[in-house]
Amino acid sequence: MKELKRRKGRKSNQIEYEQRIPELLHMMIVEHLSYNEFIRKVAEYYDVTKRTGANWWKDLRKRLKDRYEQEGEEIIQEQIQRYFNLYQMAESKGNTRVMREVLADLNNLYGLNKPNKVDLTSGSEPIKINLVFDK
């Protein structure tokens, strides 16, 4: 297999970029580099332009966001499944109080318990605002 050499100059292919990702993430997360520090350090270390460093920062942020959004969705699904399991256990034991509480929590999670908004200031009458600009 052909061994990859580190190129001198500013061009890199996708494989080299993907190999740099762990180092770049280390700079961003572990070293807590700010945006400007990251761009400056990347530009010096990899001999790329600051614009490339900014693009890498943007790409890394997007990758991190996508990764944690996906994990967040999985956690939410696991928690909802736990609610259903708890409901089934309560139902098998005949514990109606727990069943009612679980259903109330699930309704809140799904947004089914939206409170009715009551306008206390106008007595449910339409508010009329007349502005006069005659001066």
DSSP letters for 35-76:
HHHHHHHHHHHHT--HHHHHHHHHHHHHHHHHHHHHHHHHHH
| Domain range enclosing 89 | 14-110
Distance set, CA 114 to CA 24, 106, 107 (Å)? 45, 13, 9
Is residue 115 a part of any domain in this protein? no
Torsion of CA 8, 14, 18, 24, to 10 degrees: 50
Q: Is the dihedral of CA 74, 75, 80, 83 positive or negative?
A: positive
Flag whether 125 is in a domain: no
pLDDT band, very low/low/confident/very high, at 46 (cuts 50, 70, 90) = confident
In a domain, 89, yes or no: yes
Residue 128 maps to a domain: no
11 pLDDT exceeds 70?
Answer: no
**Which amino acid, one-letter code, is at 22?**
P
Q: Is the pLDDT of residue 99 over 50?
A: yes
- Establish if 7 belongs to a structural domain: no
Domain-located, residue 130 = no
CB-based burial label for 24 (10 Å; 0-12, 13-18, 19+):
buried
27-42 confidence digits (pLDDT tens): 888 888 899 999 999 9
123 falls in which pLDDT band (50, 70, 90)?
low
Q: Please say if the pLDDT value at position 94 is more than 90.
A: yes
pLDDT in tens, 58-80: 999 998 888 888 888 888 889 89
49: its two tokens: 């332009």
Domain count of the chain?
A: 1
Is the residue at 1 inside a domain? no
